[in-house]
Chains A and B, each alone.
Chain A
Amino acid sequence: DAGVTQSPTHLIKTRGQQVTLRCSPKSGHDTVSWYQQALGQGPQFIFQYYEEEERQRGNFPDRFSGHQFPNYSSELNVNALLLGDSALYLCASSGTGQYLANYGYTFGSGTRLTVV
């Protein structure tokens, strides 16, 4: 049973460019969340998607946007990249409601984004 799959694994972008990261949730999961993890820090919640809509959002600027597709996969888009956007971007999937409360999230291995 495949877990959460993220692509690409590594990415180098130039300041000012735009980037799209992709996530396929674990089979049976319908909720996808994105986290940003700077070096030496804990993951920070960006937003969560459920039923193709953004359900909850963390303290991130509008440069960060996302999308969820009917097959529950998701994309994270970051516009006008800054050097400070360099981080590991983690995708997490889960079921909803009580399933989420009871079992938490399954995380992918992340996409390492470097902005130069």
Chain B
Amino acid sequence: GAGVSQSPSNKVTEKGKDVELRCDPISGHTALYWYRQSLGQGLEFLIYFQGNSAPDKSGLPSDRFSAERTGGSVSTLTIQRTQQEDSAVYLCASSFVRGGYTGELFFGEGSRLTVL
């Protein structure tokens, strides 16, 4: 597609349920990031995929969070046993790689998660 696509755009769930958030990056982009943004706050790094390298998972806040990227394209972020503090906007971004580093980063519109 022309841009980074995320779904769902809004998700309301009950505490304890599992949720899956999907990201479809720009075609050909090998780098893919997930960030989390709580209301009025900055962007918190969650996980980074780059080509076939092992992902950098250092930002995942707990073992309830996991992510995968299939075929070097679509990525899914899964949150198990959701808690109210998981409520936030989850942002996905993708880029080409320039000299081993992230190129111009393009963001999707985000998935707003509300845990009741």
The answer to whether A and B belong to the same complex is no
